[in-house]
Chain A
Amino acid sequence: MSKYKIIQTEFRDRQALAEALIDVGVPFEEHVGGAALYGYQGDERPERANFIVRRQHVGLSSNDFGLEWDAATKSYRAHISAYDQQQGYGPRLLNRIKQRYAVRHTIALARAKGMTITEQKDDHGVIRLKLAGYRR
């Protein structure tokens, strides 16, 4: 009998997140101690983040997009302005990062277990990974 599980991706691994941002191809900054986010008029916003995509790379008249480490949940949470949420810029960018993050983190976890990995992308934008291993 086969089993399956569904997992809602959370940004828990710094390395996989940095690799995902590189995969997406959007310029980003990493600030270990956090840095301020800026609005579309150059105004400093109250939110801070550890990974930042500056507004000119997010969308027209956008605000900065940020991912901030949350020690309580042990994961990075996204800061998306209401405008970018409404325009879809922020959620689109977040989803692209999430998909590549899930791929990168899965590969890292499977490698750590000595499994072999193959990756392929299908027509509907779904990325399929086959992880092969052996058990006693």
Chain B
Amino acid sequence: MQRYEIEVEVGPDGEVKATVRGVKGRQCGPLSKFLDALGAVTHDGDTPEALQEVQQGTRQQAAIDH
């Protein structure tokens, strides 16, 4: 059993931002699927930190290949 957390921020206008923590990779997407019942999902993707990790990894790989 693996523990995970979903951080939910509800803004003053009712906009919801939900971030999954403690799970890596593609597995974390389905964990917050149940929150789609709250309304219209306008974004569903990687956090800015996660994108940075990917970009760093790509740069490191490019340096190795070079």
| Selected contact of A6 from candidates B6, B12, B15, CB within 8 Å | B15
Using known A-B contacts A9-B38, A136-B1, determine if residue A4 contacts B43 with beta carbons closer than 8 Å.
yes
Residues in A with CB closer than 8 Å to B16 are 6-9, 102, 106
Residues in B with CB closer than 8 Å to A135 are 1-2, 4, 23, 27, 31
Annotate A99-115 by CB proximity to B: 1 below 8 A, 0 otherwise.
Answer: 10111011001101101
Count residues of B near A (Cβ-Cβ below 8 Å): 47
Inter-chain contact B47/A3, CB cutoff 8 Å? yes
Which interface class (under 10, 10 to 19, 20 to 34, 35 or more) fits A?
A: 35 or more
Using known A-B contacts A1-B24, A105-B37, determine if residue A99 contacts B17 with beta carbons closer than 8 Å.
no
A5 and B9 CA atoms in complex are apart in Å by: 11
